[in-house]
Amino acid sequence: MLKRIFAGALALAIPFAPVQAQEKVLKAVMHADVRVIDPMWTTQTIANIHGMLVYDTLFGNDAQMKPQPQMVGKYDISPDKLTYTFTLRDGLKFGDGSPVTTKDVIASLQRWGKKDGVGIRLMSFVDKLEAVDDKTFRMVLKKPYGMVLESLGKTNSSVAVIMREKEAMTDPQQQVKESIGSGPFNFAKDQWVPGSKAVYVKNPHYVPRPGNEPPSSFAGTKFAGVDRIELIWISDPQTAMSALINGEIDFFEAPSIDFLPILEKAKGVKLMKTGTLDSTHGMIRLNHLQPPFDNPKARQAMYHLINQEDFLRAIVGNPAYYRVCHGLITCGSPLANDGGSAMLKDYNPKKALQLLKEAGYKGEPITVLQATDHVTITPATQVLIQAMREAGINVDAQAMDWGSVVSRRAKKDPPAQGGWNIFVTTTGGVGSANPVLHTWIGAACDKGLFGWPCDAKIEELRNAFAFAQTDEERKKIATELQTRAIEQVVYIPFGQWTVPLAYRADRIDGIVPNTGLAVLWNIKKK
């Protein structure tokens, strides 16, 4: 009543607002704002979310992480597993109305294969990628690489989206200037306000998979359930929560864990844990190039400082949303195993210091990059620093914003010259469930990720996994790989967790319980 009186009084005094068109608009707040529109150019998750709205992929991995055709209508694998022949579905068109042809597909795959780690690996086994006609193309391999379809359907890191040939010819080190795909929505670039709002409108040329297949993660029929999607960036989590409760937004991808009890009780609001795997995996990365962690014994000593519950309570708090995981391959995934996990279960700070001393540590400062502005990495780093200090380790905590951590961790210099010894980060649960997609488990020396673990056997096992032909063989290799990676301490895990998304159940339905990446297709407004 108060609202009516208040609004009515002002409305009488003020000339009227224009009538709003009755289009169905989904207003969503994601974990970050869309600043980059090229999902191949960056590995940012938000760029992938943008990419999955605008573009389509040849394959989509389902909830069991099995690749299923998406843009592809039919495909054939030769008996020697060296030749893959793909035929696109009929009638596929880009958002501008132009048809999708194999020229677009081949150019897109070639660009992706020069930029993305998994794409580079796949392309290293590709002998020929050639068009048979406008709808059919062939991929000929040098060796029977077993991860072709999984790679094409992956959703972590840079996704193998299909662009128009015109954009796909852009240097992979440069961002495309237009974002036009054959996905369910068109990107309204003229309405884009970076740092505030990204707008998507229904793509009238989109052709969904026929047969109304039930959605299963990134597989199945996907469609535009609303006319328009607005990704609104609200940086303050409390404001975003209030906006959801007030009905100003419909979907909140990453509510702050502290606010979940309030959201659980809010009228019309529901929480939903998407997917079958935990979305985030915590890791402590040691610098293998600098003492003391150039010595495996010193690295292994750090295991004895980690009580995962301490980290998870600090980050998440509620045990309903976290899980202790003494493995490097995502717990709960088909390849999860106990290989080497005994080393991760012996929490003993005194032993940690003793082993460090045996490895030659004489109390030199150990530089920890301490992010101060990250919702999960900041508390995790604080717990680590506290654990190290309590054990008697001399810690040089270098406080900085996350942007500075990201920059500094790339430096290979000694800590005193701007380098580092330890930083804390996270990775996605889906990528970590597969040894090939899980780039942090790699040990490719200079070509690997920051910390630069270097171990030929780990890389051999990752390659062997990619060529394994049966699930049993894959599981066996995954166990060996994890055992070896834990021995070498490629990183120290501190558990995994999932923050549920929150949405207005009284206004929307049809959220696809995707694993690893929030997507907004198939959502309908009531």
Partner 1 sequence: MTAYIVRRLFATLPVMAVVAVFVFFLIRFAPGDPAAIIAGEDATAEAIAQVRAKLGLDRPFMEQFFIWILQMLQGDLGVSIFSNLPVSRLIVQRVEPTVALTLSTLFVAVALAIPIGVVAAWKARRLVDRLVMGFAVLGFAMPVFVLAYILIYFFAVQWQLLPVQGYRPIAEGFWPFVESLILPSVALGVTYMALIARITRASMLEVLAQDYIRTANAKGLATDRVLLLHALKNAAVPIVTVIGIGIALLISGVVITETVFNIPGLGRLTVDAVLKRDYPVVQGLILVFAAAKVLVNLIIDISYAFLDPRIRY
Nearest CA-CA partner of 244 in 29, 440, 42: 29
Nearest CA-CA partner of 395 in 384, 406, 403: 384
Q: Is 264 in the site for partner 1 (CB under 8 A)?
A: no
Concatenate the DSSP letters of all residues of 397-457 into one string: EEEE-HHHHHHHTT--S-GGGT--SEEEEEEETTGGGSTTT-GGG--BGGGSSTT--B-HH
The stretch near partner 1 (CB under 8 A) out of 209-217, 245-253, 333-341, 501-509 is 245-253
Q: Is 14 in the site for partner 1 (CB under 8 A)?
A: yes
CB 486 within 8 A of CB 499: no
Q: Is 3 in the site for partner 1 (CB under 8 A)?
A: yes
Smallest gap from Cβ 189 to partner 1, in A, equals 9
Site string for partner 1, 221-240 (x = CB under 8 A): -----------x-xxx-xxx
Q: Is 469 in the site for partner 1 (CB under 8 A)?
A: no
The stretch near partner 1 (CB under 8 A) out of 123-131, 160-168, 201-209, 403-411 is 403-411
The helices-and-strands tally (H runs, E runs) of the chain is 15, 21
Q: Is 518 in the site for partner 1 (CB under 8 A)?
A: no
Residue type at position 2:
L
The residue within the footprint of partner 1, chosen from 195, 204, 319, 360 (CB under 8 A), is: 195
The stretch near partner 1 (CB under 8 A) out of 142-150, 174-182, 329-337, 462-470 is 174-182
Q: Is 267 in the site for partner 1 (CB under 8 A)?
A: no
Q: Is 245 in the site for partner 1 (CB under 8 A)?
A: yes
Nearest CA-CA partner of 57 in 189, 155, 130: 155
Buried residues in 239-251 as b, exposed as e (16+ CB within 10 A): ebbbbbbeeebbb
CB 322 within 8 A of CB 497: yes
Binding residues for partner 1 restricted to 407-436, rule: CB under 8 A: 407-410, 412, 425, 427, 431
The residue within the footprint of partner 1, chosen from 82, 271, 406, 445 (CB under 8 A), is: 406
Q: Between residues 379 and 451, which has the closer beta carbon with respect to partner 1?
A: 451
Q: Whole-angstrom Cα distance, residue 106 to residue 351?
A: 55
Q: Is 450 in the site for partner 1 (CB under 8 A)?
A: yes
Q: Between residues 212 and 235, which has the closer beta carbon with respect to partner 1?
A: 235
Structure token pair of residue 199? 């707008």
Q: Between residues 35 and 297, which has the closer beta carbon with respect to partner 1?
A: 35
Binding residues for partner 1 restricted to 325-364, rule: CB under 8 A: none
CB 241 within 8 A of CB 235: no
The stretch near partner 1 (CB under 8 A) out of 9-17, 200-208, 321-329, 515-523 is 9-17
Q: How many residues are there in the chain?
A: 526
- Chain-centroid distance of CA 444 in Å reads 21
Q: Is 246 in the site for partner 1 (CB under 8 A)?
A: yes
Q: Whole-angstrom Cα distance, residue 270 to residue 509?
A: 11
CB burial class (10 A; 0-12, 13-18, 19+) of residue 60? buried
Q: Is 486 in the site for partner 1 (CB under 8 A)?
A: no
Q: Between residues 338 and 373, which has the closer beta carbon with respect to partner 1?
A: 373
Q: Between residues 16 and 90, which has the closer beta carbon with respect to partner 1?
A: 16
Nearest CA-CA partner of 315 in 394, 253, 257, 238: 257
Site string for partner 1, 70-109 (x = CB under 8 A): ----------------------------------------
479 vs 216, 429, 448, CA distance in Å?
27, 17, 21
CB 400 within 8 A of CB 372: yes
Residues found near partner 1 in the complex (CB under 8 A): 2-3, 6-7, 10-11, 14-18, 33, 35-37, 41-45, 47, 115, 117, 156-157, 171, 173-175, 177, 192-197, 232, 234-236, 238-240, 242-243, 245-246, 248, 373, 400-401, 403-404, 406-410, 412, 425, 427, 431, 439-440, 447-450
